[in-house]
Structure 1
């Protein structure tokens, strides 16, 4: 099965029917069966938030939860926990409503561009797996040394042995801080595909956080580019039972349109989405 969605549900005006910001997820879930939950990257979410999001979505809806930034090395300064173990425990506890409702698709560990292929980082990946061994975990690298000629085969083998879900990325090829398309499944159950756009000049641009994101993810895929991915996705689908696809080219409002276009090219019509009927009372 192929599940197509977007990263976050707050920046896609094409899918909203209701005026309240609290209803955005409900509207989103009437268009797509999966979403990336990125609020969990900035702060470990309360179970109350998770319960509300569970209640706002259909029974079959899936969340791909980004690992907290203190767990992936993005945190600036000290982590706001007594220990790494306490941080991981708090993160797991926050996921309980998703786990119990069957709506946790996976946890995504997206490591930063400086996280290169070296023994200390391989050991840290093992540490993460040990702390969350009962959960479906996906991994995304942003340093191309993991897929260099010297390490690519060993990287794939390492992920397979650890039962990690591979995050296959489409992104600008802009030096060491970007990775190539590696359409290989490392988990029999699932593979994650993330479309970041192909804005080469924006990918490495420096600046304040808001402006950086607006430029970096400003891209619209054309039909030929999506058609090329149809063939790649069919190859991946033969390697794992489910393929989860997320469009992250959000800043220009292109993600939802590109996702819908890919659904058309793949002839996908989801039947168990939320109703698009407005709530009148």
Structure 2
């Protein structure tokens, strides 16, 4: 099965018909899966998880990002008594998704400074143990994991520890970006499309608006054709492929995803009823 979605449901005005409070319901009329980003910035109250579960169709899936304290992005004070408490609270926050059958996977996205080193390999083992009851997908951001002398070992490590692999399309801008490595390490694989804005990837500019710069990109037909070939190649390796567009800054993600869906010729069953606006243009 190939599922297509976007990272987050709050930045796609072309999809909304209802009020601002019903963006997730509107989103779920178009796509069967979404990446939940709020869980990266803070461990979410269980009431939020239950709310999002209730607002989506029975077969809808969430790719839930790991909390930034887990991935090493956290800056400032550590708001927990211990890492044990942090992992315990995070597990409790995502358990409702699993119990509802709506947890596609937990996305553990490491930062660009997380290198292929012994201490980090050890930490990956800790993550696997702490999240042993969940499907976990690993995304690296440092090229060392895919260096010629380490790539085979990286792939084998992911396989042997039952980690899914996050395959990324992103600007090739030095050590802080990874090559596209179309290898599945399990029966599921995640493809994340970050755009190809090399200048924005390197030059973040205003720290408050770095996301707006980094993910400003509109994939063209030729690029989507290439990604289609990668998607099909990965589908031969894995039963389930989840593909997420993360080029949200300029509002391009939804249209790129719709175009890509048409190119694949796939239809999604079990979506929420679409509330058509009188003046809405069909995608």
Range into which the TM-score falls when normalised by the shorter chain: over 0.9
**In the alignment, what sits opposite 2:244?**
246
How far off its partner does 1:22 sit? 1.5
TM-superposed CA distance for 1:277, in Å, is 2.9
Q: Where does residue 65 of structure 1 map in the other structure?
A: 64
How do residues 212-231 of structure 1 correspond to structure 2 at under 5 angstroms?
Answer: 212-231=210-229
Question: 1:209 aligns to what?
Answer: 207
Which whole-Å CA distance do the structure 1 matches of 2:244 and 2:100 have between them? 22
4+ runs of 1 displaced by more than 6 Å? none
| CA distance in 2: counterparts of 1:278 and 1:102, whole angstroms | 28
Aligned residue for 1:228, secondary structure, equals: helix
**Match for residue 17 of structure 2?**
17
Match of 1:192, SS state, is: strand
**Deviations along 1:54-80, whole A, 9 cap, x unmatched?**
010000000000000000000013321
Q: In the TM superposition, what whole-angstrom CA distance separates every residue of 1:150-171 from its partner, at most 9, and x where no partner exists? A: 1111100110101101000000
Cα drift, residue 278 of structure 1 = 6.9
**SS of 1:107 mapped into structure 2:** strand
- Secondary structure at 1:221's aligned position in 2? coil
Alignment partner of 1:5 is 2:34: no
TM-score normalized by the length of structure 2: 0.96
Aligned equivalents of 2:54, 2:161: Cα separation in 1 = 33
Q: How far apart are the structure 2 equivalents of 1:211 and 1:278? A: 33
Deviations 1:26-74 (A, max 9, x none): 0000000000000000000011001110010000000000000000000
Cα distance in 1 between the residues matched to 2:68 and 2:207: 15
Distance verdict in 2 for CA 1:233–1:278, change over 3 Å: closer
Match of 2:127 in 1: 128
Cα distance in 2 for residues equivalent to 1:218 and 1:208: 14
Following the alignment from structure 1 to structure 2, what is the Cα–Cα distance between the partners of residues 141 and 213? Answer: 18
2:32 and 2:224 mapped to 1: Cα distance?
Answer: 20
**For 1:85 and 1:208, how far apart are their aligned partners in 2?**
35
Distance 1:99 1:272 in 2: 18
Q: SS state of the match for residue 249, structure 1? A: coil
CA distance in 2, matches of 1:25, 1:209: 28
- 91-100 or 118-127, larger mean C-alpha shift: 91-100
CA distance in 2, matches of 1:105, 1:148: 29
Contact 2:204 2:214 (8 Å CA) reproduced = no
Who is 1:77 aligned against?
A: 76
| Structure 1 counterpart SS, 2:62 | strand
Greater shift after overlay, 232-241 or 167-176? 232-241
C-alpha distance in 2, partners of 1:84/1:21?
36
Task: State the TM-score, normalized to the length of structure 1.
Answer: 0.97
Superposed, 1:1-281 pairs within 5 Å as 1-18=1-18, 20-188=19-187, 190-277=188-275
Q: CA deviation at 1:97?
A: 1.6
For these two proteins, the number of residue pairs brought into alignment is: 277
Q: Assess if the C-alpha contact under 8 Å between 2:8 and 2:35 holds in 1.
A: yes
Q: CA deviation at 1:216?
A: 0.5
**Cα displacement (A) at 1:100:** 1.2
